[in-house]
């Protein structure tokens, strides 16, 4: 997917995102945040969008959010200010393929419905693995391509329209799972109709770490 197409697409979607895709992705967002809230420390939300998840994080977490869409970020910043979300430490305009954070920096990283809308998702996963602390968790919610059935056929038909609709309907789960620095921990389907998937990955502790 072309980065300029993403900018155009999300400039178009930003004013109505909360009432369209925001509703469709609500179950995944709540599942991801509920999991993150069982943990402590620093959190990075990759693709924070309009900030729909921000008010649901526990107040004792330190949340950083990034997004490539300035229009989306403005809406997220407005939410933080209006709701006085003091646990949100920073919202930054950033390309997820080149995260401006040190290695081993965040306790938990969450990517909700973003990996199928970015160019070069393999690079995004590599960056997520780099900035995750050893022993840290990576939480992903996303739509992944089906291998058979009517919906699989629809996904194949709409795949060439990725730049227009703003996401890859044929996004493969292997793109996420093949990052070698992260190990698989959990997977389950999400509503509606199991169209979305909840994943947890872990960055193993360094050998010799007490």
Residue 59: the pLDDT is 97
What pLDDT score does 152 carry? Answer: 44
Pair type for strands 62-67 and 88-93 = parallel
208 phi, psi to nearest 5 deg: 90, -5
Give the per-residue pLDDT at 157: 37
pLDDT score, position 165: 40
Show me where the domains of the chain are located.
3-202
Nearest to 151 by CA among 94, 193, 188: 193
User: Can you give the pLDDT at residue 162?
Assistant: 40
Q: Cα–Cα distance between 72 and 87 in angstroms, integer?
A: 19
pLDDT tens readout for residues 25-50: 778 899 999 999 999 999 999 999 99
Task: Say what the pLDDT of residue 131 is.
Answer: 98
Beta bridge partners of 184: 201
How high is the mean pLDDT in each 10-residue block of the chain (210 residues)?
54 55 75 97 96 96 95 95 98 97 98 90 97 98 68 42 46 92 96 84 78
Of 68, 66, 64, the closest CA to residue 43 belongs to 64
Q: What is the pLDDT of residue 146?
A: 57
List 63's β-bridge partners, or say none.
43, 88
CATH code, residues 3-202: 3.40.50.150
Cβ neighbours of 180 (radius 10 Å): 7
- Predicted pLDDT at 150: 40
Q: What pLDDT is stored for residue 21 in this prediction?
A: 61
Predicted local confidence at residue 8, as pLDDT: 55
Specify whether the CB–CB gap between 104 and 76 falls below 8 A: no
Q: What's the pLDDT at 3?
A: 53
């Amino acid at each position: 997917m072309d980065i300029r197409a993403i900018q155009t697409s999300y400039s178009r979607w930003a004013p109505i995102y909360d009432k369209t895709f925001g509703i469709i992705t609500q179950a995944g967002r709540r599942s991801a945040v509920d999991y993150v809230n069982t943990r402590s420390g620093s959190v990075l939300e990759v693709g924070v969008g309009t900030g729909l998840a921000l008010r649901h994080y526990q107040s004792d977490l330190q949340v950083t959010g990034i997004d490539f869409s300035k229009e989306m970020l403005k809406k997220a910043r407005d939410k933080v200010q209006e709701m006085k979300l003091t646990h949100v430490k920073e919202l930054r305009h950033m390309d997820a393929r080149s995260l401006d954070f040190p290695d081993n920096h965040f306790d938990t990283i969450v990517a909700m419905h973003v990996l199928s809308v970015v160019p070069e998702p393999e690079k995004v996963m590599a960056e997520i693995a780099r900035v995750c602390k050893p022993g840290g968790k990576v939480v992903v919610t996303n739509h992944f391509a089906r291998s058979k059935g009517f919906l699989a056929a629809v996904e194949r038909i709409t795949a060439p329209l990725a730049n227009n609709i703003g996401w890859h309907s044929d996004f493969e789960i292997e793109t996420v799972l093949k990052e070698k620095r992260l190990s698989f921990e959990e997977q389950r389907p999400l509503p509606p109709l199991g169209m979305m998937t909840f994943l947890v990955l872990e960055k193993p502790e360094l050998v010799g770490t007490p």
